[in-house]
Amino acid sequence: MTLDVRRLTLDVRHLTWQKPETQNPKLETNMATEIEHKYLVKNDSFLNRTEQVIHIRQGYLSHSRQCTVRVRVTDQHAYVTIKGHGNGLSRPEFEYEIPLSDGEQLLSMSQNRIVVKDRHIVTDHGNRWEVDVYHGVLEGLMTAELEVPSEEYTYPLPDFVGRDVTGDSSYSNASLSRLDSPPAQA
């Protein structure tokens, strides 16, 4: 799927999307849903189990109660993600890969509120955990996220997982982008 960034207009008050002439009916009928659990990380035992590390820089172009628009740049890819307000663990999420140069330009529009982190991919009991180690003003903060197929899905917690912060908006990356130091991890 591609995103025609020439037809995407973003500012802090409005998000508008002009559909291309040729529409894909699948895009109109299937809404992507993210179901995710988030935890603080209590130790670095995940390091010896890391399968891949992805360096991430991300910024927020718009953040409101209704939706958040994020741009994320890795070493080789860039994405625009639109996350809606959800209920419980679920919320609508739409992510589109964009050219890396466009991602860099959009990242520069995020008013220097950029989250920098290394994402460690760790598999535990068949589950793919994303452990984020933050840098810059958030140095010292580590979180672990697990996307699950349903809200009823159960899973064992790896030994590096600490307090559950799922639903705690102070640990959302959009909120973290506005901080000058990591939140208290008590």
The predicted structure's pLDDT at residue 21: 41
Confidence (pTM): 0.81
The predicted structure's pLDDT at residue 32: 85
On whether the CB atoms of residues 130 and 158 are closer than 8 A, the answer is no
Per-residue pLDDT band for 31 (boundaries 50, 70, 90) equals: low
Active site residue 60: yes
CA distance 141 to 135: 8
pLDDT tens figures, 89-138? 888 999 999 999 999 999 999 877 899 999 999 999 999 999 999 999 99
User: Across the strands, what pairs with 144?
Assistant: 39, 131
The residue ranges of every structural domain in the chain are: 5-176
Q: Rounded to whole angstroms, what are the CA distances from 124 to 29, 34, 129, 130?
A: 34, 20, 7, 11
Q: What average pLDDT is seen over the chain?
A: 85
Which amino acid belongs to residue 157? Answer: L
Give me the catalytic one of 39, 60, 134, 171: 60
CATH of 5-176, one of 3.30.420.40, 3.40.50.720, 2.40.320.10, 3.30.565.10: 2.40.320.10
CA distance 177 to 138: 9
Q: Which of the residue ranges 24-28, 73-77, 130-134 would you say has the lowest mean pLDDT?
A: 24-28
CA distance 185 to 140: 10
